[in-house]
């Protein structure tokens, strides 16, 4: 693992506080998965083919062209499955197994925390998951979690003819994983071979239109189209999860620490959780590549800011509690029951 730039005094003071912290929150954003090389499709210029990715993430877009929307999300599912959880995912999962008062609030939909063995009862997905699906029929409430079938329907298979993605399991930093993923999708450094997958995020690559009858349909009602179980723009966040998070925060006991990892925390409710945790006594520790991303309220005396790659920094910060994140421990984490 690459060395970090954490100052020894900051590391010591943080780990001393963590040692005596019983109730801890982690608020995670796209920066947590950056070390796995995943594109985020967020912000200005976030294009998929020639489409503004945000414009595809709406109920209206799905009603208008479900085939196109499913191609976008099938691509994202495929890319997420080509990526691997990075050391930060495993470190948070290990902390969740060791501290019963630990709760992760993730804005990510990529399924990497689940694949890292993070206990489900201590992982709340604020924006849903690419690997959850649900029926769109009005009278049907069918849902399914952690469906990692790829492709989810034969018609959504990635067209072939170019280079196939390679495993990202050996990348240990965001830059390395991103370069590996780009090389895999664009064929850099590899010999052309027939039958390889094309990068359909590039609008120069032909992509067939898909009829609604060839999209995933509900196994329960038989008629309704299935859709990704993510929270689209214009939709409310899952009420059950929001209530569970609020109940955790509002317990009489104080909150000792909130980790803010890879997120600018500018959008509610995520932005509000930092203030709520602070009001319950929490100190704030921010891990981010950009020193300007400290949340709406900024930092206060006694808080920490750790600048750099979450995949490198988080395991080091948590090492005093979880030990080294080795391949052996990762496999053990995936086998461990949810406690």
218 in a labelled binding site: yes
Task: Please give the span between the terminal C-alpha atoms of the chain, in angstroms, as a whole number.
Answer: 29
Pick the catalytic residue from 89, 118, 124, 127.
127
Q: Are the beta carbons of 101 and 124 closer than 8 angstroms?
A: no
Cβ-count burial 232-247 (b if 16+ within 10 Å, e if not) = beeeebbeebeeebee
The answer to whether 28 is a known ligand-binding residue is no
Q: Which residue has the tokens 């630990």?
A: 102
**Residue 221, marked binder:** yes
Sequence-separated (6 or more) residues with CB below 8 Å from residue 195:
160, 161
The three-state secondary structure class of 306 is strand
Quote the CA–CA distance of 133 and 220 in Å, as a whole number.
Answer: 13
Angle between helices 174-186 and 66-82 (to 10 degrees): 120
CB 92 within 8 A of CB 317: no
Measured torsion, CA atoms of residues 67, 136, 46, 118, in degrees rounded to the nearest 10: -120
Q: Catalytic residue at 127?
A: yes
Q: Are 307 and 323 in contact (CB under 8 A)?
A: no
Binding residue ranges: 135, 140, 218, 221
Binding residue ranges for Zn(2+): 135, 140, 218, 221
The residues that are catalytic are 127
């Amino acid at each position: 693992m690459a060395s970090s730039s954490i100052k020894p005094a900051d590391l010591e003071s943080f780990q001393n506080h963590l040692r005596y912290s019983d109730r801890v929150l982690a608020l995670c954003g796209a920066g947590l998965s950056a070390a796995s090389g995943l594109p985020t499709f967020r912000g200005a210029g976030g294009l998929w083919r020639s489409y503004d990715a945000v414009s595809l993430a709406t109920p209206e877009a799905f009603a208008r062209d479900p085939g196109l929307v499913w191609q976008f999300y099938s691509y994202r599912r495929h890319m997420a499955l080509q990526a691997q959880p990075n050391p930060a995912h495993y470190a948070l999962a290990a902390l969740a197994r060791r501290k019963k008062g630990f709760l992760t609030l993730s804005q990510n939909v990529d399924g990497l925390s689940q694949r890292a063995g993070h206990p489900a009862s201590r992982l709340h997905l604020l924006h849903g998951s690419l690997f959850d699906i649900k029926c769109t029929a009005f009278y049907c409430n069918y849902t399914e979690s952690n469906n990692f079938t790829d492709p989810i329907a034969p018609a959504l298979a990635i067209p072939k003819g170019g280079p196939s993605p390679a495993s990202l399991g050996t990348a240990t930093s965001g830059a390395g994983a991103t370069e590996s993923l780009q090389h895999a999708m664009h064929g850099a450094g590899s010999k052309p071979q027939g039958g390889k997958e094309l990068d359909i995020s590039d609008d120069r690559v032909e992509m067939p239109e898909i009829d609604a009858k060839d999209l995933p349909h509900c196994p329960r009602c038989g008629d309704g189209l299935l859709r990704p179980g993510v929270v689209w723009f214009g939709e409310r966040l899952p009420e059950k999860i929001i209530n569970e998070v609020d109940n955790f925060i509002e317990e009489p006991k104080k909150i000792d620490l909130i980790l803010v990892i890879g997120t600018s925390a500018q959008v509610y409710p995520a932005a509000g959780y930092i203030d709520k945790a602070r009001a319950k006594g929490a100190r704030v520790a921010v891990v981010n590549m950009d020193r300007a991303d400290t949340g709406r309220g900024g930092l206060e005396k006694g808080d920490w800011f750790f600048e750099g790659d979450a995949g490198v920094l988080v395991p080091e910060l948590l090492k005093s509690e979880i030990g080294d994140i080795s391949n052996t421990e990762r496999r053990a984490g995936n086998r461990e029951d949810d406690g």
